[in-house]
Amino acid sequence: MSINCIRALLESAVETHSDKTALVFNEKSISYGELYARVNQVAFYLKELDLPKNTRIGIYSNKGIEQVVAVLAILSTDYILVPLTKMLKPEQVEYIINDCDIKCIITDKLKLESIEEINFDGHILSYETTAKEIASFEEIYKYYNKPYVCDINGHDNAIITYSFGMTGTPKGIVISHRNLIDSARVVSQYLNLEEDDVISGLLIFNLDYGLNQIFCSLYKRATLALHRFILPDDFFNHLINDKVTVLPLMPVNISQMFEDGMQRIPSPELFDHLKTITSSGGNVTAKMIKDCKNTFRNADFYSMHGLTEAFRSTYLDPSQVQIRPDSIGKAIPDVELYVINDEGKECGVREVGELIHRGGYIYRGFWNAPEQNALRFKSVDILKDVINLEGQLTDEIVVATGDYVYKDEEGYLYFVSRHDNMIKTRGFRVSPYEVESVVAKNIPQIDQCAVFGLENEQIEEEIVMVYSAPSEISGEEIIFELKKHLASYMIPGRIIYKRSLPLVQSDKNQVNKDALKRELTAS
| pLDDT (0 to 100) of residue 167 | 45
Q: Tens of pLDDT along 239-290?
A: 999 999 999 999 889 988 887 766 678 999 999 999 999 999 877 888 889 9
Q: What percent of the chain has pLDDT over 90?
A: 73
The CA distance from 325 to 176, in Å, is 33
Nearest C-alpha neighbor of 446 from the set 483, 480, 473, 465:
473
User: What pLDDT band is residue 113 in, cutting at 50, 70 and 90?
Assistant: confident
Domains 6-21+29-177 and 336-358+367-418 share a fold: no
Pairing of strands 353-359, 397-407: antiparallel
pLDDT at 168 over 60: no
What is the pLDDT, as a whole number, of residue 92? 86
What is the pLDDT averaged over residues 105-117? 91
**401: Cβ–Cβ under 8 A, 6 or more apart, which residues?**
307, 309, 313, 354, 355, 356, 357, 376
C-alpha to C-alpha distance for 147 and 140, rounded to whole angstroms: 13
CATH number of 6-21+29-177, picked from 3.40.190.10, 3.90.1150.10, 3.40.50.980, 2.40.160.40: 3.40.50.980
Q: How far apart are CA 106 and CA 79, in angstroms?
A: 13
Q: What is the DSSP string of 155-171?
A: TSEEEEEEEE-TTSSEE
Degrees, nearest 5: CA angle 170-175-176: 160
Is 166 a residue whose pLDDT tops 80? no
CATH of 336-358+367-418, one of 2.30.29.30, 3.40.462.20, 2.30.38.10, 3.40.1190.20: 2.30.38.10
Q: Which of 126, 120, 146 is nearest to 48 (CA)?
A: 146
**CA 267 remoteness from chain centre:** 31
- Among 28-32, 216-220, 517-521, whose mean pLDDT is lowest? 517-521
Query: pLDDT tens for residues 27-53?
Result: 999 999 999 999 999 999 999 999 999
Taking the C-alpha atoms of residue 302 and residue 316, their distance in angstroms, rounded to an integer, is 6
Distance of CA 490 to the CA centre of its chain: 15
Can you tell me the distance from the alpha carbon of 196 to that of 212, in angstroms, rounded to the nearest whole number? 18
Q: How far is CA 219 from the centre of its chain?
A: 20
The answer to whether the Cα torsion of 361, 362, 367, 372 is positive or negative is positive
What are the structural domain ranges in the chain?
Answer: 6-21+29-177, 336-358+367-418, 423-522
> Structure pTM?
0.85
Select 423-522's CATH number: 3.30.300.30, 3.90.1150.110, 3.40.50.300, 2.60.40.1120: 3.30.300.30
